[in-house]
Amino acid sequence: KMNVIIVKNRAEGGKKGFEVFENAYRNGAQVFGLATGSTPVTTYEELTQSDLDFSQMTSVNLDEYVGLAPDHPQSYHYFMQQHLFDQKPFAHSYVPDGLNSDAAAEMKRYDQIIADNPIDLQILGLGQNGHIGFNEPGTDPALGTHKVALTESTIKANSRFFDNEDEVPRYAYSMGIASILKSKHILLEAYGPEKAAAVKAMIEGPVTTDVPASFLQRHDQVTIIIDEAAASQLS
Ligand code: F6R
């Protein structure tokens, strides 16, 4: 169920990640679930350099900070423009609207988008604490899109991208674990020694809300691409 591929480094992981994308694409995938963060960058580089055409395709992003406009340099919207959409435009690209202060309305709107555009391939990174999307430890796995209070460790990890910690958003909108598990195929990538404990818990540990990524064990088509450092605690 979990197909684990161990690579030397992120560059090689990007090539493998691209192969997963390409296979899905050739097999008729139309809706691609996308993530931000450092992890998918090498895969997006391979995509932008490829001849794959996404101009008839749809993308649906996992999450966005509450309070950041799409053109804010630290918004996930902006990240996607820089790393993928400017070079490879999609027909429709959906990202949660960080400026919608009506959380209930935004949750409903985004769940409808996902229902109307069932995700064929969802790409994920992995938090050091086992989070996927912004589903932090303890999150109810039955939730769809929801508003999340970011944990102190995630705020700290993200603060390197802001001038000071006070500017780091405290809330995000995120797809839920249940939304993610509806995707036909899931591709999770993780690189570096700081992900090793989360990788082990995700693959070899019990399915538990303490490790949101462990719910991927319940999905029947998951590809995991990790480098040797991230794989180092696997038995
Ligand atoms: C990003 C996201 C997050 C990241 C995770 C890992 O859209 O949903 O779950 O995938 O925090 O971040 P990086 O890749 O920067 O290590």
Inside any domain, residue 73: yes
The whole-model pTM stands at 0.96
Inside any domain, residue 92: yes
Output the six-digit token pair for 114. Answer: 């996902």
Q: Which residue has the tokens 């919207």?
A: 77
User: Is 96 close to ligand 1, i.e. is its CB under 6 Å away?
Assistant: no
Output the six-digit token pair for 162. Answer: 């802001």
Cα distances (Å, whole numbers) of residue 24 to 27, 106, 147, 161, 229: 5, 29, 30, 32, 27
Output the six-digit token pair for 7. Answer: 């690579």
**CA 178, CA 94: separation in Å to the nearest integer?**
18
Inside any domain, residue 196: yes
Q: What is the pLDDT along the chain (235 residues), one digit of tens a residue?
A: 899 999 999 999 999 999 999 999 999 999 999 999 999 999 999 999 999 999 999 999 999 999 899 999 999 999 999 999 999 999 999 999 999 999 999 999 999 999 999 999 999 999 999 999 999 999 999 999 999 998 887 788 778 888 877 778 999 999 999 999 999 999 999 999 999 999 999 999 999 999 999 999 999 999 999 999 999 999 9
Inside any domain, residue 226: no
Q: What is the pLDDT of residue 150?
A: 85
Q: Which residue has the tokens 């309070």?
A: 67
Total number of domains in the chain = 1
Inside any domain, residue 3: no
Q: Are 95 and 76 in contact (CB under 8 A)?
A: yes
Rounded to the nearest angstrom, the distance between the alpha carbon of 38 and the centre of ligand 1 is 7
Inside any domain, residue 141: yes
Q: Are 78 and 112 in contact (CB under 8 A)?
A: no
User: Is 38 close to ligand 1, i.e. is its CB under 6 Å away?
Assistant: yes
**CA 132, CA 126: separation in Å to the nearest integer?**
5
Query: Is 131 among the residues known to form the active site?
Result: yes
Rounded to the nearest angstrom, the distance between the alpha carbon of 78 and the centre of ligand 1 is 15
**CA 178, CA 29: separation in Å to the nearest integer?**
20
**CA 124, CA 219: separation in Å to the nearest integer?**
14
Inside any domain, residue 10: no
What domain range includes position 38? 18-49+58-211
CATH number of the domain bearing residue 149: 3.40.50.1360
Inside any domain, residue 154: yes
Q: What is the pLDDT of residue 231?
A: 98
Query: Is 129 among the residues known to form the active site?
Result: yes
Catalytic residue among 64, 111, 129, 227: 129
Ligand 1 atom closest to residue 192's alpha carbon, by position in its atom list: 16
**CA 197, CA 214: separation in Å to the nearest integer?**
12
pLDDT digits (tens, 9 = 90+) for 147-170: 999 888 778 877 888 887 777 899
Q: Which residues contact 184 (CB under 8 A, 6 or more apart)?
A: 29, 118, 119, 120, 121, 221
